[in-house]
Amino acid sequence: MRRLDLHCYPGTPEWVRAQGPYVEALARYWKREWVGKPEDEVVREFQAAGVEVVLVAFDIQAWTGAPPCGNDYVAAMRDRHPETIVGAWGVVDPLQGEAAAVEAERAVHELGLLGFHFHPIMGRYSVGDPALLPLFEAIAALSVPVMVDVGTTGMGAGLPGGMGARLWHAHPRAIDELAANLPELTIIAAHPGWPWVEDMTAVALHKGNVYWELSGWAPKHFPESLKRDVRGRLQDKVMFGSDYPSIPYERLLREWDELGLPQPVLEKVFHLNAERVLGLAPRTAARQR
Every domain of the chain and the residues it spans = 4-288
The model's pLDDT over 173-185, given as tens digits with 9 standing for 90+, comes to 999 999 999 999 9
What is residue 141's predicted lDDT score, i.e. its pLDDT? 98
What is residue 21's predicted lDDT score, i.e. its pLDDT? 72
C-alpha dihedral over 182, 187, 192, 198, to 10 degrees? 30
What is residue 132's predicted lDDT score, i.e. its pLDDT? 97
Q: From the first residue on, what is the mean pLDDT of each consecutive set of 10 residues in the chain (289 residues)?
A: 97 89 69 84 98 96 87 98 98 93 98 97 93 97 98 77 86 98 98 97 98 96 97 98 95 98 98 96 45
What is residue 268's predicted lDDT score, i.e. its pLDDT? 98
For the domain 4-288, what is the CATH superfamily, name and number?
Metal-dependent hydrolases (3.20.20.140)
Cross-strand bridge partners of residue 211: 188
What is residue 284's predicted lDDT score, i.e. its pLDDT? 42
What is residue 23's predicted lDDT score, i.e. its pLDDT? 66
What is residue 289's predicted lDDT score, i.e. its pLDDT? 30
Beta strand extents in the chain (DSSP E only): 4-8, 52-56, 85-90, 115-118, 146-149, 187-190, 210-213, 238-239
- The Cα–Cα gap between 273 and 275 comes to 5
What is residue 43's predicted lDDT score, i.e. its pLDDT? 98
CA distances from 134 to 102, 122, 125, 148, 225 (A): 12, 21, 14, 17, 36
